[in-house]
């Protein structure tokens, strides 16, 4: 669970954050009609639609439900909506519903008074109250414990909360943005998610497109991540055509997060000034969802080992020491293997060459 209150990363076209701060007395229509959702990279048609939607919902305070696979940018969008909107000067409180401690969750959200339970030495404000006049971002809302769903719904509808152990009610005014990568409707059908809460949260629904539906954004994203992640002292700022082709051929089930990790890993492995296909050890060959080998595929032992190393490096964000530990091998062995993989055999090198036969 974390919360912060800053305005980083969002730039408002036709205005700035200072003028946004004086917007309490402006009508909604006077808000800039388009937020430059800083940090959200993409020029594809789905991203244009998404940016447009973000601009629109930023101008209202209606609840928003963000739906999308892991790594599609739900948290980034939640931030963009908050910091691009009427409440940008107030707190954005993020609650990861999957990480709430069952015994503490009620007091975390609603607060408690002194003596409410053993160990409650003093009163404590709940996160809903911290988010007063701001936004509460309920991440992984599908994981909200069932026993809290009714209480939460009441708090949203009545706009007031009662801290644990208190008889007094506190007025709250929060904008709710919820996110999930689960099928909430299935949860409703299966009885694990309250239908009334679902309706309450699902006022404006925004679906985030998976990266495989907007592959044209990959080159832009890659250049963004090269800029963001490369060591200023290192000169890797570009990527070869062959490497880009390989990135475009993969379906990215982990979406933008997986791509970001792959670029970070490649930067760790790279020794030249241009990222080549050889540096992309963490990007599986032909194992994207669409091109996945069938279950009966016989894979040479060396390739299996290569994939295991690549996936572990991806998992550890390129940290070789952690990867070696996870794989149960020494760091030197890992380095030796990586060196071997980057000296690819001639037939694979040929496959890596572009159609014009040039090494990319």
Strand 124-125 with 135-139, pairing: unpaired
Nearer to Mg ion, 75 or 160 (CB): 75
**Least distance from ligand ATP to the Cβ atom of residue 261, Å:** 9
**Least distance from ligand ATP to the Cβ atom of residue 69, Å:** 7
Continuous H helices in 5-145? 17-21, 45-58, 74-83, 105-110, 127-130
Gap between the Cα atoms of 297 and 231, Å rounded: 39
Nearer to ligand ATP, 200 or 257 (CB): 257
DSSP class of residue 44?
S
**Least distance from ligand ATP to the Cβ atom of residue 217, Å:** 7
Distance of CA 8 to the CA centre of its chain: 16
Task: Count the Cβ atoms, other than its own, within 10 Å of residue 138.
Answer: 26
By CB under 6 A, name the binding residues for ligand ATP. Answer: 39-42, 68, 70-76, 181, 256-257, 260
Q: From the list Mg ion, ligand ATP, none, which binds 260 (C-beta under 5 to 8 Å, kind-based)?
A: ligand ATP
Nearer to ligand ATP, 42 or 318 (CB): 42
Distance of CA 121 to the CA centre of its chain: 36
Q: What value, to the nearest 5°, has the Cα angle with vertex 184 and ends 159 and 35?
A: 65
Give DSSP secondary structure letters for 203-263.
SEEEEPPPGGG-GGGHHHHHHHHHHHHS-TTS---EE-HHHHHHHHHS--TTHHHHHHHHH
Nearer to Mg ion, 75 or 315 (CB): 75
Q: From the list ligand ATP, Mg ion, none, which binds 181 (C-beta under 5 to 8 Å, kind-based)?
A: ligand ATP
Q: From the list ligand ATP, Mg ion, none, which binds 42 (C-beta under 5 to 8 Å, kind-based)?
A: ligand ATP
Q: From the list Mg ion, ligand ATP, none, which binds 40 (C-beta under 5 to 8 Å, kind-based)?
A: ligand ATP
Nearest to 239 by CA among 277, 190, 201: 277
Nearer to ligand ATP, 72 or 107 (CB): 72
Are 69 and 210 in contact by the 8 Å Cβ rule? The answer is: yes
When CB distances to Mg ion are compared, the closest residue is 75
**Least distance from ligand ATP to the Cβ atom of residue 293, Å:** 26
Gap between the Cα atoms of 263 and 226, Å rounded: 7
**Least distance from Mg ion to the Cβ atom of residue 318, Å:** 21
Q: From the list Mg ion, ligand ATP, none, which binds 128 (C-beta under 5 to 8 Å, kind-based)?
A: none
Q: From the list Mg ion, ligand ATP, none, which binds 72 (C-beta under 5 to 8 Å, kind-based)?
A: ligand ATP
**Least distance from ligand ATP to the Cβ atom of residue 109, Å:** 20
Nearer to Mg ion, 143 or 305 (CB): 143
Q: From the list Mg ion, ligand ATP, none, which binds 241 (C-beta under 5 to 8 Å, kind-based)?
A: none
Q: From the list ligand ATP, Mg ion, none, which binds 71 (C-beta under 5 to 8 Å, kind-based)?
A: ligand ATP
Nearest to 70 by CA among 39, 98, 49, 42: 98
Nearer to ligand ATP, 97 or 243 (CB): 97
By CB under 5 A, name the binding residues for Mg ion. Answer: 74-75
**Least distance from Mg ion to the Cβ atom of residue 100, Å:** 15
Continuous H helices in the chain? 17-21, 45-58, 74-83, 105-110, 127-130, 146-158, 184-190, 195-201, 218-229, 241-249, 255-269, 301-315, 320-327, 331-342, 346-352
**Least distance from Mg ion to the Cβ atom of residue 257, Å:** 9
Nearer to ligand ATP, 36 or 75 (CB): 75
């Amino acid at each position: 669970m974390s919360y912060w209150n800053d305005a980083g990363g969002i730039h408002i076209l036709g205005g700035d954050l200072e003028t946004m701060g004086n917007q309490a007395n402006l009508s909604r229509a006077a808000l800039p009609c388009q937020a430059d959702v800083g940090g959200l990279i993409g020029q594809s048609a789905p991203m244009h639609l998404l940016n447009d939607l973000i601009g629109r919902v930023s101008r209202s305070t209606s609840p928003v439900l963000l739906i999308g696979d892991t790594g599609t940018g739900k948290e980034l969008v939640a931030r963009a909506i908050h910091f691009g909107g009427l409440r940008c000067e107030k707190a954005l409180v993020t609650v990861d519903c999957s990480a709430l401690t069952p015994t503490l969750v009620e007091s975390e959200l609603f607060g408690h008074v002194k003596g409410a339970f053993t160990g409650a030495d003093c009163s404590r404000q709940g996160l809903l109250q911290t988010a007063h006049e701001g936004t509460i971002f309920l991440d992984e809302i599908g994981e909200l414990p069932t026993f809290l769903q009714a209480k939460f719904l009441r708090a949203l509808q009545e706009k007031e909360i009662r801290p644990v152990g208190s008889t007094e009610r506190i007025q709250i005014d929060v904008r709710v943005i919820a996110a999930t990568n689960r099928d909430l409707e299935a949860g409703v059908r299966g009885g694990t998610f309250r239908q009334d809460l679902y309706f309450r949260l699902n006022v404006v629904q925004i679906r985030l497109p998976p990266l495989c539906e907007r592959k044209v954004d990959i080159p832009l994203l890659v250049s963004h991540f090269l800029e963001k992640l490369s060591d200023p002292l290192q000169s890797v700022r570009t990527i070869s055509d062959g490497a880009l082709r390989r990135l475009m051929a993969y379906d990215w089930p982990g979406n933008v997060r997986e791509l970001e990790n792959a670029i970070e890993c490649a930067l760790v492995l790279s020794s030249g000034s241009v990222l080549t296909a050889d540096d992309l050890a963490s990007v599986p060959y032909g194992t994207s969802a669409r091109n996945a080998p069938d279950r009966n595929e016989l894979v040479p032992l060396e390739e299996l080992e290569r994939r295991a190393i690549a996936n572990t490096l991806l998992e550890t964000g390129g940290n070789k020491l952690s990867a070696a530990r996870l794989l149960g091998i020494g760091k030197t062995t890992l380095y030796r293997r990586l060196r071997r993989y980057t000296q690819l055999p001639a037939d694979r090198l040929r496959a890596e060459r572009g159609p014009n036969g040039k090494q990319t």
